[in-house]
Structure 1
Amino acid sequence: MKASTIGASVLVVLTVLLVSRCVAAEPQTHSAANHPPSRSGPAALPSPTGSAPGSFNNTDIAWLQLMIPMTEQAVRLLELAPGKTTDPKLRRFAEEHVSDRRTTLRGLRDLLRRSGVPESNEHEGHDIPGMVIPDDFAALKRADGAAFDRLFTKDAREYLTQSVLVAKSEQRAGSDQETKAFAAALEKTHGGQLTRLEP
């Protein structure tokens, strides 16, 4: 994550655009009778396989496809902390929330399966807000003690902040009620967890 390089406000806008990129192009919901997702945006969404339920629109799909890799990386981040941190508060935070992230990941994958769209990492290799990238993990693995704590806290805050922002976007522009409810629950949970990481 390189928020300091580009500017946090620009990255927030980019993240929200990733989620809502296809809403203007195709506001209709997916169904077996409708056309596949629009491919006119910056990156094409995969076409649904089989007969997708009609309640999903492109924002729902884009949000799920963004949150799955973000959450996978968050699990890795939280798993790394107990063996590296010297801060008991951060150790407790990581140990308490890693199982929550795994549960979140299962829920996101269940929703994507229900949509009929196969799971694929649309953001492989992208350095986007909230995503803990390989360079971040390399720095975390090299660091110990207070240096690790600073990096871990920065990456965890960025993940939680961006997940809250895109969850709000999903609630505004999504169509599937279960997916929007899941986003609302994540917004509330991640917002509360973010306050625990404040200095």
Structure 2
Amino acid sequence: MRLLLVVVALLLAGCGSGATTAAPTYNAADVMFLQMLIPQNQQGIDVVRLAKDRPLPASLKELASAIEVTQQSEIDDMKRWLRDWGQPETMDMDPHAHAGHGGMKMTAPDLVGALKTASDADFTRKFLDVLSGQQQGAVELAQAENGTGGGVNTQARDLARRVIESRSAEVGQLLNFKA
């Protein structure tokens, strides 16, 4: 019996020595953030592409082009991270599954549809409205990622910080066009 106790004590001691528990590299909040931001970014790209053949100020076309490049680069990074984590790129389509990030922040399809069919005379105003709201939605998603109970992945949290900064600046620029 004494030998059994010694063996058990040695086994238990061995379990704790040298074995370290690594902190998780990502959590469910990180995965949800990326899965929600991918379609949100894709919708932003779709919206800014509508401006290519419309009569807009050159500076607004440049901003739209920069948004497209930035958001596509982010999508590529996010998809790669999810693949590396063994997670699906698409999210759970149950709207209640996204409550932790404040729900989906997509622009209503009817607003995008109205933008597609807007006359050239109305396009600029509608474009500014739709794109401002769309970019603000990305800020709200990113704030949830970096808030309490949010993500733990350094890359995802850094992306969220950059989204907050860049999209907030873009909304400011868009509002200046309205003035």
Identify which of 29, 41, 52 aligns with 1:71: 41
> Is 2:92 aligned against 1:122?
yes
- Per-residue CA distance 1:74-126 (angstroms, 9 max, x = gap): 11111111212433332222123211111111112122222221112435999
Gaps spanning 5+ residues in structure 1: where? 1-52
Relative to the length of structure 2, the TM-score reads 0.71
- Determine the structure 2 residue equivalent to 1:197: 174
Contact 1:163 1:187 in 2 (8 A): yes
Which aligned runs of 4 or more in structure 1 are off by greater than 3 angstroms? 85-89, 121-126
Contact 1:84 1:145 in 2 (8 A): yes
Compared with structure 1, are the counterparts of its residues 148 and 171 closer, same or farther at alpha carbon in structure 2 (3 Å cutoff)? same
Secondary structure, counterpart of 1:82 in structure 2: coil
Among the aligned pairs, what percent are the same residue? 23
Q: Superposed, which structure 2 residues align to 1:83-102 within 5 Å?
A: 83-102=53-72
> Is 2:117 aligned against 1:142?
yes
Q: 1:145 and 1:87 mapped to 2: Cα distance?
A: 12
Contact 1:69 1:121 in 2 (8 A): no
- Determine the structure 2 residue equivalent to 1:110: 80
Shift of 1:137: 2.8
Which amino acid is the alignment partner of residue 154 of structure 1? D
- Determine the structure 1 residue equivalent to 2:156: 179
Q: 2:121 and 2:105 mapped to 1: Cα distance?
A: 22
- Per-residue CA distance 1:1-55 (angstroms, 9 max, x = gap): xxxxxxxxxxxxxxxxxxxxxxxxxxxxxxxxxxxxxxxxxxxxxxxxxxxx932
Compared with structure 1, are the counterparts of its residues 101 and 188 closer, same or farther at alpha carbon in structure 2 (3 Å cutoff)? same
- Determine the structure 2 residue equivalent to 1:31: none
Q: Superposed, which structure 2 residues align to 1:132-171 within 5 Å?
A: 132-171=107-146
Secondary structure, counterpart of 1:81 in structure 2: coil
Compared with structure 1, are the counterparts of its residues 180 and 125 closer, same or farther at alpha carbon in structure 2 (3 Å cutoff)? closer
Contact 2:25 2:153 in 1 (8 A): yes
More helix per residue: 1 or 2? 2
- Determine the structure 2 residue equivalent to 1:54: 24
Contact 1:130 1:160 in 2 (8 A): no
Relative to the length of structure 1, the TM-score reads 0.65
Q: Which has the larger radius of gyration?
A: 2
Q: 2:94 and 2:165 mapped to 1: Cα distance?
A: 27
Q: 2:66 and 2:139 mapped to 1: Cα distance?
A: 19
The RMSD of aligned alpha carbons is 2.4
